[in-house]
Amino acid sequence: MSDISKSHGRLAVRPTFTPRELVQHTPELAKAWTARIITLFPGAFPGVLGESLTGKALAQGIWQLQTFDLRTYGIGKHRNVDDTPAGGGAGMVLRPDVTAAAVRDAMAGARGRWPLVYLSPRGRRFDQEMARTFASCDGITMLCGRFEGVDERVLEAFGIMEVSLGDFVMTGGEIAAQAMLDATVRLLPGVLGNAESAVEESFSNGMLEHPQYTKPADWEGREIPEVLLSGNHAKIEAWRKGESERITRERRPDLWEKLTR
C-alpha cells in the first residue's frame, strides 16, 4: 500500500532543509481516528483540513488522513479509470474493476466501526447527527466520484453508503469529503479547545445558534443587547435560549416542526 496511498499524520514542526515523510508510523498513530480517501486528485488533500484546528489535530496525531490515488489502479498503458455508460448517454462512468481494487486496498485493516461512504447527490443528506456518528467510529473510508458516477455494481457489492452534502451537483466528491471531514473531526476528543463550544453550536441541540457579540459594546450606533452585559447568567441563558428558538422558527421551520412534534 506504500506506493499506492499517501498518508498525512503527526508532524514535528521544525525548520529543516531536508524533506520529511508526512507520516511517522508509531503505536500512538495506529489508534488514531483515520480517514481514507479514494480520489483521482490526492493532491487536493489535506487542503483546508490541514489548517486551523483540524490541521493542528492532524499534526498532533489525534486523527490521520490517507489518500488512495484511483489513477494508480487504472487499466492499460494510459491507466484508464472510466468508460462509456452502458445503454448510451453523455459522460463517462468509473469502472467497477478499477474502483473495487481501490476500495479493497482502502478498507484493508479497517477495524471496529468503519463506514464506507460514497459522496453522491442521491445519498442521504449529511447532517450534524451523521457527523457525530462518524466521529464515534474508528475511522471512515470515502470514495470521491467523478464524471457521471460509479458503476452501480460496486456500490452493491460493498454495501457502500451514499451520502450527499446537499441538493446540488458538484464536479466531484473531494470538496464534499473535506466538508464532511471538517464537521466530523472537530467533534473528536481533544480537537476543540473548549468542549462546550460543540454543545452550543447550531444543530447540536436541534436548533440554530443564538446571535453572538463581542467588543466594542457600541459599534457604529449598534449596541450589544443589555442582558449580555448584565452579569446575570440565568437571564443570559434564558435570552440565548429564546433567541435560538426564535431564529429556528423563522429561518428553519422544518427543524422547528421536528422539535415541537
Give the cell for residue 178: 473535506
Calpha distance 224→86 (Å, rounded)? 61
State the distance between the two ends of the chain, measured CA to CA, in whole angstroms. 50
* Residue burial 1-37, b: 16+ Cβ < 10 Å; e: rest: eeeebbbbbbbeeeeeeeeeeebeeeeebeebbbbbb
User: What is the dihedral sign for C-alpha 44, 21, 131, 1?
Assistant: positive
Amino acid residing at 142: M
* Cβ neighbour number for residue 140 with a 10 Å cutoff: 24
**Predicted local confidence at residue 54, as pLDDT:** 97
Between residues 109 and 18, the one the model is more confident about = 109
Query: 144 φ, ψ to 5°?
Result: -95, 115
Single pTM value for the model: 0.83
CB 50, CB 60: distance < 8 Å: no
Binned at pLDDT 50, 70 and 90, residue 26 comes out as very low
Interval 98-102 mean pLDDT = 98
Give the three-state DSSP class for 142: strand
Give the three-state DSSP class for 205: coil
CB 97, CB 80: distance < 8 Å: no
Give the cell for residue 126: 449529511
* Cβ neighbour number for residue 44 with a 10 Å cutoff: 17
Return the axis-axis angle of helices 128-135 and 174-185, rounded to nearest 10°. Answer: 70
Cα 210 from chain centroid (whole Å): 24
| Distances 77 to 5, 73, 74, 95, 227 between C-alpha atoms, Å | 20, 11, 9, 16, 69
Interval 27-40 mean pLDDT = 85
CATH 3.40.1280.10, applies to 5-185? yes
Domain ranges of the chain: 5-185, 202-259
**What would the pLDDT profile of 174-227 be if each residue is shown by its tens digit?**
999 999 999 999 999 999 975 545 555 555 578 999 999 999 999 999 999 999
**Predicted local confidence at residue 196, as pLDDT:** 47
Mean pLDDT of the chain: 88
**What would the pLDDT profile of 83-96 be if each residue is shown by its tens digit?**
999 999 999 999 99
Give the three-state DSSP class for 75: strand
- Give domain 202-259's CATH number out of 1.10.3720.10, 1.10.1270.20, 3.65.10.10, 2.60.40.10: 1.10.1270.20
